[in-house]
Amino acid sequence: MEKTGIYDKLQGKMFSSEINNAVKLHLKERGYFVDNLWHLNDVSDRFECTDDQAYKVLSKVLESDYIMMSIHEAICQVAQDEFNLKFKNDV
């Protein structure tokens, strides 16, 4: 996994929790949903593995066709049923 170096640039200027919150806020302000993030610990707390293995497990699961399809279907259902939103091509 390639590192950006952002954390190193900010270290000493901010606490690590402040860095994490600043990065999340930066992404949220640009339209990304960041309220549900997964961490390597979600795997490594349950399995004996390296960080690289934990990352690969998360990647394989979260990028799987099943999960992606389930998320898109849930977005459609909640948008229509709970918010009464219409598809753009139905307007």
Which of 27, 30, 51 lies closest to 41, judged by CA? Answer: 51
Instruction: Identify the bridge partners of residue 14 per DSSP, sorted by sequence position.
Output: 11
pTM recorded for the entire structure: 0.74
Provide the b/e sequence for 46-73 (b: ≥16 CB within 10 Å): eeeeeeeebbebeeeeeeeeeeeeeeee
Residues 6+ apart with CB under 8 A from 31: none
pLDDT band at 14; cut points 50, 70, 90: confident
* pLDDT of 2 higher than 60: no
